[in-house]
């Protein structure tokens, strides 16, 4: 389960999203792309921002710059709507309210969509993926502030409050068993990529690259080259471990490096709901899928399930692929 540090923007993996950027890093290179794109009559715009506690960037291409700008504005509006529904970085989100009050009437549709998917995946993975691991977070983060690991009894008390069956999703209401707290941080960025892509499509954008913390791409770069997604080496974020090219659809990565409680990265922000500790075995998992939500959920589940059971899970979903990086 991905739990990102509540406030501090997580350390970003290095992703070289725009085609060919690795080869021509630098302003001159970008100018060259612009020229190539312009010669095909296409404009390209990028807009960056901060959402989900990290930086995000949307890139879209098209014939009419005004349409692109409008599409990017819609894209950010979609992201803000998802944040308002389910971000734990915002104390005024619907999810934060649900955690505070234990129930929520007439919940935000985004929250319902995320939670429905989370509970389905929890059932499918027999609880390896679980949106109710939030009570583990304060136990670990406060221990980490003391450079220690949590006391066994504190951890046990937190695990007793974890369990996806403690959530009731009714048509018009969400109910939590007292003591339960939800996190959808493992899904929200992938889901946001879906929403942003839909918003861009609504403006007729056919070529776009979306970075909401997870990634989505459609079409190609206006210079004609396919979009490429670079995957950073989890142990050396400056180095590329792999490149997905051409990249279309959605990709999500879960890893032990984004937010670690210990220098050796044994303890990090992904918890095995059954033990309350971080799963060993894998350092990072990248899943490509037809939707960002699926990619994000599967990648987190794979971290907990491990290589073999994770591969089985992904194989059961059409159009999905997975890359594992073993822990070193």
Partner 1 sequence: MIFWDRGLAPSQSRTAALRFHTARAGSFTLRQGDQPRADAHLPSPLPRGGWWATRACPLCLALLAFLLAILPASAGQLDRAALESHFPPPLVVGEKDGALPVWPILKQQAGAYEVFAYAFESVDLAPIPGFGGTPPDLLIALAPDGTFRDVKVIAHREPVFLEGLGSEPLFAFVEQYAGLSAKQAIRVGRPNARAAGAPPQTTVDGISMATASTRVINQSILASALVVARGKLGFGAANVGLSVQAKPGLYEPLGLPDLLARGWVKRLTVTNAQAAVAFKGSGVAESGEGAADAVLTDLYVAYLNVPTIGRNLLGQARFDALMRELGPDNHAVMVLSTGPADAPENPVGERFVLGAVPDRLAVSQSGLIVGARDMAVERRDAGLAEGLPPGNWSILRIDQAAGFDPSAPWVLAETIVRERGQILSEKIARTFPVETALPADLFTRAKPDDGPSWTDPWRARAPELAAIGLMLAILVPVLARQRGLVAHRRAFAAFRLAFLALTLGFVGWSAQAQLSIVTLVGLVRAATTTHDLAFLLYDPPSLVLWAFALATLLVWGRGTFCGWLCPFGALQEFVALLARPLRIRQVTVPAGLDRALRQLKYGVLAGILGAAAAGSPLADSLSEVEPFKTAITLSFVRSGPFVAYAAGLLVLNLFVYKGFCRYLCPLGASLALVGRLRVLDWIPRRAECGSPCQLCKVRCRYGAIAPSGRIDYPECFQCMDCVTIIHDPAQCVPQVVDRKRKRRSAPHPMAVT
Contacts to partner 1 by CB under 8 A: 6-9, 12-17, 21-22, 25, 47-51, 55-57, 72, 76, 79-80, 83-84, 90, 92, 145-147, 230, 238
CB 281 within 8 A of CB 270: no
Torsion-angle region of residue 41: left (phi > 0), alpha (psi -120 to 50) or beta? Answer: left
Of 55 and 67, the one with the shorter C-beta distance to partner 1 is 55
Query: Least distance in Å: CB of 184 to partner 1?
Result: 17
Nearest to 245 by CA among 221, 218, 227, 220: 227
In the complex, what is the shortest distance from the CB of residue 164 to partner 1, in angstroms, rounded to a whole number?
28
What's the closest the beta carbon of residue 168 comes to partner 1, in angstroms?
29
CB of 26 to partner 1, least distance (A): 11
Q: For partner 1, which is the closer residue by CB, 47 or 327?
A: 47
Minimum Å gap between C-beta 61 and partner 1 is 18
Minimum CB separation from partner 1 for residue 52, in Å?
11
CA 23-26-29 angle, 5° bins: 65
By beta-carbon proximity to partner 1, the closer residue of 147 and 172 is: 147
**Residue 55 or 274 having the CB closest to partner 1:** 55
Which residues touch 190 (CB under 8 Å, ≥6 apart)? Answer: 212, 214, 250, 252, 291, 292, 293, 294, 295, 296, 297
Q: Closer to partner 1 by CB, 7 or 153: give it.
A: 7
* Nearest distance, CB of residue 25 and partner 1, angstroms: 7
Q: Which is nearer to partner 1, 75 or 135 (CB)?
A: 75
Contact present, 81 and 88 (Cβ < 8 Å): no
Task: Report the residue number, 131 or 230, with the smaller CB distance to partner 1.
Answer: 230
Quickly list DSSP for 10-78.
PPPPP---STTTTTT-SHHHHHHHHHHHHHTT-EEEEEEEEETTEEEEEEEEES-HHHHHHHHHHHHHH
Q: How far, rounded to the nearest angstrom, does the alpha carbon of residue 83 sit from its chain's CA centroid?
A: 13
Instruction: For residue 52, give the nearest of 231, 263, 159, 195 by alpha carbon.
Output: 195
């Amino acid at each position: 389960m991905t739990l990102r540090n509540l406030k501090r923007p997580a350390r970003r993996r290095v992703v070289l999203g725009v085609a060919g950027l690795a080869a021509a890093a630098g302003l001159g290179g970008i100018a060259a792309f612009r020229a190539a794109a312009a010669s095909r009559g296409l404009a390209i715009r990028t807009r960056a921002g901060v959402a989900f506690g990290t930086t995000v960037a949307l890139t879209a291409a098209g014939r009419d710059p005004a349409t692109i700008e409008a599409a990017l504005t819609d894209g950010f509006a979609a992201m803000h709507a998802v944040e308002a529904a389910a971000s734990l970085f915002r104390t005024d989100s619907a999810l934060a309210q649900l955690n505070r009050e234990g129930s929520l009437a007439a919940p935000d549709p985004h929250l319902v969509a995320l939670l429905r998917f989370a509970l389905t995946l929890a059932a499918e993975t027999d609880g390896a993926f679980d949106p109710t691991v939030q009570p583990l977070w304060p136990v670990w983060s406060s221990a980490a502030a003391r450079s220690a690991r949590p006391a066994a009894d504190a951890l046990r008390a937190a695990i007793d409050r974890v369990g996806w069956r403690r959530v009731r999703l009714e048509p018009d209401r969400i109910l939590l068993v007292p003591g339960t707290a939800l996190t959808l941080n493992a899904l929200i960025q992938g889901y946001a990529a879906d929403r942003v892509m839909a918003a861009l499509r609504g403006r007729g954008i056919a070529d776009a690259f979306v970075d909401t913390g997870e990634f989505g791409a459609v079409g190609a770069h206006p210079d004609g080259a396919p979009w490429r997604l670079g995957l950073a080496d989890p142990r050396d974020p400056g180095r590329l471990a792999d490149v997905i090219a051409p990249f279309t659809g959605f990709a999500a990565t879960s890893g032990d490096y984004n937010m670690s409680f210990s220098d050796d990265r044994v303890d990090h922000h992904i918890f095995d709901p059954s033990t309350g500790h971080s799963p060993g075995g894998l350092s990072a998992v990248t899943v490509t899928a037809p939707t960002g939500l699926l990619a994000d959920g599967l990648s987190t589940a794979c971290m907990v399930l491990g290589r073999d059971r994770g591969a089985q899970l992904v194989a059961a979903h059409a159009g999905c692929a997975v890359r594992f990086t073993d822990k070193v």
